[in-house]
């Protein structure tokens, strides 16, 4: 049932915000794509610390772009892998890349971007992995939920499809973990999950009905459960960021949020990690790495 906060008049206004936010991300991606790529030189024995993943590990949007990495990847100099490496004094080869799917671990994502697995080798001791959201795909699910919210709906279509879309990536995700272990037999693999994205009661900043907000968060929870399950099967370490992220979701004050709202702030990346979020996730990863490497 429609409420005053989700009226027809405000629905048109929200739709313009959705279009604006989407356009901002498209422009940022187009600029990155147009820039000349820079490839990685593979290490014959593998880097000590290899970071694999998508934009959840790679970028803080337009903030602090790392010009030594492929520009299309939109890597940040203050992303979680680099912060972890700095905390622990590890030599890092950061292969995380915005837009990456599981297949791009083993194949080139675009011209000038080597397969992420190329960084692995017998000298690798630590591997972090954050990937899978683009395979589900969460962006499609988000869009469905936002469009449904314009009609004061609860995102029933995405709610019904999200579990199947998530479970469909299990085989590829598990195979990727197996390949990491094969290429880097001395490494401990750390898999970090997705933080809390949106609270159940929703808020104007995310432009989702409470029902749709619940659907979105459940979708990320499903993805967390899947990667935790596949990681645990193979002796990899799953790092929970969902619990520590409570209270830091997209509805939190900008001084506390780990996740950008729909109309993103400085990063121009809706529903991506803020710089504060990158630091929060990095602290969790660094603690886990430090704990498990000292007990091996």
Catalogue the E-assigned strands of 64-170: 92-94, 126-130
In the numeric block, the tokens 């297949």 are attached to 103
User: Radius of gyration (Cα) for the chain, nearest Å?
Assistant: 19
CA distance 287 to 95: 21
Contact 232, 177 (CB under 8 A): no
Active site residues: 55, 272
CB count, 10 Å around CB of 236? Answer: 21
CA distance 169 to 181: 19
CB count, 10 Å around CB of 254? Answer: 12
- State the first-to-last Cα distance of the chain, in angstroms, to the nearest integer: 56
């Amino acid at each position: 049932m429609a409420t005053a906060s989700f009226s027809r008049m405000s629905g048109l206004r929200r739709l313009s915000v959705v279009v604006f936010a989407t356009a901002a991300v498209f422009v940022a991606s187009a600029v990155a794509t147009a820039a000349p790529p820079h490839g990685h030189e593979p290490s014959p024995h593998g880097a000590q610390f290899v970071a694999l993943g998508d934009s959840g590990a790679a970028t803080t949007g337009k903030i602090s772009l790392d010009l030594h990495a492929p520009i299309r990847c939109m890597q940040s100099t203050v992303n979680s892998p680099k912060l972890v490496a700095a905390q622990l004094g590890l030599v890092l080869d950061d292969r995380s890349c915005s837009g990456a799917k599981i297949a791009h671990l083993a194949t080139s994502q675009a011209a000038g971007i080597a397969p992420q697995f190329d960084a692995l080798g017998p000298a690798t001791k630590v591997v972090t992995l954050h990937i899978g959201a683009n395979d589900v795909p969460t962006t499609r699910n988000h869009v469905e939920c936002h469009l449904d919210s314009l009609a004061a709906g609860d995102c029933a279509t995405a709610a019904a499809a999200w579990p199947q879309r998530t479970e469909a990536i299990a085989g590829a995700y598990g195979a990727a973990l197996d390949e990491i272990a094969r290429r880097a037999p001395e490494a401990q693999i750390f898999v970090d999950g997705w933080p809390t994205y949106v609270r159940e009661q929703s808020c104007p900043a995310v432009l989702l009905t409470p029902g749709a907000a619940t659907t979105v968060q459940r979708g990320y929870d499903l993805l967390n459960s899947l990667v935790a399950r596949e990681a645990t099967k193979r002796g990899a370490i799953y790092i929970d960021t969902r619990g520590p992220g409570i209270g830091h979701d997209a509805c939190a004050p900008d001084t506390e949020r780990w996740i950008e709202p729909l109309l993103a702030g400085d990063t121009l990346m809706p529903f991506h990690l803020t710089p504060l979020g990158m630091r929060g996730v990095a602290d969790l990863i660094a603690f886990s790495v430090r704990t498990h490497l000292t007990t091996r």
